[in-house]
Structure 1
C-alpha cells in the first residue's frame, strides 16, 4: 500500500510543484485547499482534495485520523501582509495547531519555513549556516522563526524544518513586476549597496520537501541552489534570455521606503496587501543572504537540479507559454 501525504497550501505557487514531486515518488497525495481557492490547475493530478479548519485543533485531528495520513508537508503560509498580527496568526498559530493535531498520528511533519527566519548577515562577509544565530529583520521572518521554535517544543512531534532561500519558478508571480520593467527597458535597483543573494527553483523546493519525509528528523536545513549571486545577476540572466537592452536606474532607498509605506496605506484601504510591504522590503534590501546547503546535501541527499540560469530559462519559457509576458 502506498504511503499517504497531506500537502497544505496546495493551491499556492509552491504547492503544485510539491504535488508533482510527491506523485513522482509514488505517494498517495491529499491536498488541503481553501473553499474559495482556484484549483482548476490541480484537477489534472491524481490527488484527493480536503478542507482544513486550521483554527480548530480538534477538527484538524479528526481530519488526520479519518484520512490516515502518513506524512504532512506544511507549505501553507502568508508571505506578504500589512501588519505583524496577520503573519503571527497564519504562520505561527495555525502552524502549531496543525502540528499539535498531528502528534501520534503521522510519521513526520515537514515544515516549509524560510531563510528569513534566520535573517541576513549584516555585511558581505560570511555565509549563513544552520548554526547561524537567528536575527530576522522582518515580521514575516520573525513569524516563521517563532513557528520553528514552538514546533520543536511540541511533545511527541517528529518534524523536519526547511528554510528555502528566495523561491521562483513556473506559477510564481514574484518576478513579474521585474520582468515587465525589463521588457519596458528599465533595469531598476534599490540603492547602490552590494548584495549577496541566494535563490532556489520551485521544483528544487519540492525535491527537498519529499526527501525530508525520510530523513533529517528533528533537524533544520537551509536550502538554495547552492550558489550565491550579486544583485545584478538575476536581471542580467533575464536580459540574455529575452535579448533585452535596458537603461539602468538606482532608486534611493529612502524614496522606495516612502513609496512602499504609501502603497501600504492605499492597499489597506482597498483591503489588499501591498507588494512588497515595507516589512518585506527589509528582507529585499539586506546585504547578505548567501547560505550553505552542505548539511542538507550530507543528511538529506539534497542536490539541487537547477541553478539561476537554468531555472530562469524554464520559468520564462513557462511565462511565455501561459501568456504571462
Structure 2
C-alpha cells in the first residue's frame, strides 16, 4: 500500500475522507496535478484501496492521533474533507465534524513541514441553527479558526455536490429520469449546485495559489442566483427524457416532519444513523441555499467547468444535448 512517490516529486498533500465520494475525486485530481497524496482510510472488511505511484495510504481514523501524526508527517498541506452527514444526536455529529477537525488541525500544527490547511466544510455552516449537522460544521470551522496557529488556512463551503459515484442525490435524479420528482414542501426555495469534479478542481486551485490566510469561501457552479425547481426539472427533461415532462410530487412539510421524527426515534432505539431527521427537514426546506463563488474566483482564478446540463448527463451516464456556454 505504501506507493507514495519517493525522491523527486510534487508537494505532499495529506487528505482525509479519501475513500468517500468527494475524497475519491479529490485524490484523482490532486495526483493528476502533480501532488503526492497521503490518504487516510479506515480499514474494514471488504475495503480494498487502490495503489498507485504518488499515493500512500495511512490506516486509521480521525480519532486515532498516531494515524493523524503519520498522515501529516512530511506533508506540505492538509486537505480535510472527512465528515459525517448522518447522526442521531448532536454528539454524533460533533465528534466527527468538530472534534475531528480539531485533532487533524493539531496534528498539522505539530508537523514542521506542514504550512497550509484547507477545510472542506458545507454551505450548511452558514445556517447553524437549522440542524445538528449544520451546527457541527460551523463548530468545525470555529475549531480551525481558533487552533490554526501558524498555518495558512482557508475554508470552502460547497453547496449540494453531485456527480458520478454520488449516492445522496442519485435517487432524485433517477426519479426524474423515470418522470417523477419528489419535491420537499412547496418547492419555492433556491439553491446552488456544484459537480464533484469542479469542487476537486477548486481545491487544487487553492493549493496552487498563495492566497491570504483565514478566508471562508462559498462555491457554486457559476449559475447566477442559483437554481429553482423549474430550471432543474426543465434541464432534467431535456437531458434525461428527450423533453418529455416530469411530474412533480410535492411532499408537505408536516408529512416530512412526522416521518423524520419517527425515523429519528427509531434510529436512537435501534442504533443507526438516520439521514432524514427533523433537522434535515429544516435544511431541505430552507428557502436560500444559494452560494456565491466570486470571492474564491478572485482569490485563485478558479472557474467552474461543468454546468448542470452537462453535469447531470455525466452523472447519469447519458449523452448530453448540445451545450452552449458554461454553465448551462
Shorter-chain TM-score category? 0.7 to 0.9
1:138 maps onto 2:134 in alignment: no
Deviation at 1:109, TM superposition (A): 1.2
Query: 1:8-87 alignment to 2 at 5 Å?
Result: 8-36=16-44, 39-40=47-48, 42-43=50-51, 47-57=55-65, 60-65=68-73, 68-87=74-93
For 2:45 and 2:194, locate their aligned partners in 1 and report how far apart those are by CA, in whole Å. 25
Question: Any idea what the Cα deviations from partners look like across 1:88-146, whole Å, max 9, x if unmatched?
Answer: 11000011111011115212111101111112xxxxxxxxxxxxxxx542211111111
8 Å Cα contact 2:38/2:71 also seen in 1 = no
Task: Decide whether aligned partners of structure 1 residues 151 and 116 sit closer, same or farther in structure 2, where only a CA change above 3 A counts.
Answer: same
Change in 2 beyond 3 A, CA 1:185/1:58: closer
Contact kept in structure 2, 1:60 and 1:101, CA below 8 Å: yes
- When the two structures are superposed, what TM-score results if normalisation uses the length of structure 1? 0.85
Deviation at 1:172, TM superposition (A): 0.6
Does 1 or 2 have the higher relative contact order (CA < 8 Å, sep 6+)? 1
Match for residue 164 of structure 1? 158
Report how far residue 205 of structure 1 moved.
Answer: 0.9
Equivalent-residue separation in structure 1 for 2:94 and 2:193 (angstroms): 25
**Distance across 2 between alignment mates of 1:140 and 1:247:** 31
Match of 2:216 in 1: 220
Looking at structure 1, the residues matched to 19 and 54 of structure 2 have their Cα atoms a distance apart, in angstroms, of 14
d(CA) in 1 for partners of 2:229, 2:129: 20
Q: Secondary structure at the match of 1:109?
A: strand
Residue aligning to 2:236: 238
Retained in 1: the 8 A contact 2:42–2:61? Answer: no
CA distance in structure 2 between the partners assigned to 1:44 and 1:136 by the alignment: 42
Please show how residues 171-210 of structure 1 align to structure 2 within 5 Å: 171-210=165-204
TM-score normalised per structure 2 = 0.85
Question: What corresponds to 2:282 in structure 1?
Answer: 282
CA distance in 2 between counterparts of 1:184 and 1:314 reads 17
- DSSP-derived class of the 2:260 partner: helix
Deviates more, 1:2-11 or 1:215-224: 215-224
95, 98, 102: which one pairs with 1:89? 95
Question: Contact 1:264 / 1:274 at 8 angstroms: preserved in 2?
Answer: yes
Distance in 2 (CA, whole Å) between partners of 1:172 and 1:36 is 21
8 Å Cα contact 1:11/1:42 also seen in 2: no
Shift of 1:41: 6.7
Match of 1:211 among 205, 214, 221: 205
Partner of 2:13: 5
Partner of 1:294: 294
CA separation of 1:38 and 1:28: change in aligned 2, threshold 3 A: farther
- For 2:283 and 2:68, the matched residues in 1 are separated by 33
Aligned residue number for residue 316 of structure 2: 316
SS in 1 for 2:143: helix
SS for the counterpart of 1:209 is helix
Contact 1:107 1:158 in 2 (8 A): yes
1:111 matched to 2:119: yes
- Stretch deviating more after TM superposition (52-61 or 295-304): 52-61
